[in-house]
A and B are shown apart, each in its own frame.
Chain A
Amino acid sequence: AQSVAQPEDQVNVAEGNPLTVKCTYSVSGNPYLFWYVQYPNRGLQFLLKYITGDNLVKGSYGFEAEFNKSQTSFHLKKPSALVSDSALYFCAVRDDSSASKIIFGSGTRLSIRP
């Protein structure tokens, strides 16, 4: 069975500092990994994905994520945080079978202080 874990409920970072939001996963086949962001009273917005290829994936709004197969991790990163990055972030995973559904993590609330 596939699963995804976001071990931190909340991450607090000062504006201008680098940020990392952690995600680990478990799938039986090859993983397809996604990061989404949710602002208040809105749906989720897609940030980036890993399907295959380079382990460092670049996405929207300056975010990037590093796929680490040995550690089964897909941490979200940004070199310099902005106050406007404050939101709820979800990691998601599915495996490569055609009937597989996407499983979302429990979410990490990112708070950037000025």
Chain B
Amino acid sequence: NAGVTQTPKFRVLKTGQSMTLLCAQDMNHEYMYWYRQDPGMGLRLIHYSVGEGTTAKGEVPDGYNVSRLKKQNFLLGLESAAPSQTSVYFCASSYGQSFNEQFFGPGTRLTVL
């Protein structure tokens, strides 16, 4: 069991470039989440999905898009990267939403110049 994996681990972008972060889980979880972590700000929810083919906005969704075409994968896209999107991005998954542990991936460190 690999658990939750993220690709890539590191990335440097120039302002205006686009990229997609991939999250994969092999635990057959229904729920998947994307968070960003900034110093002193904790973890903030960007988007989440309650099942294949569904997505919903979290606390800080602007500038990001997501897709959940397959149950095991959750993609986070940045269409036009901005320096304010420099952050560490964590994906997580859980079997249910409430009363359920969220399992986190190893994170992706993104720098936008």
Q: Do A and B come from one complex?
A: no
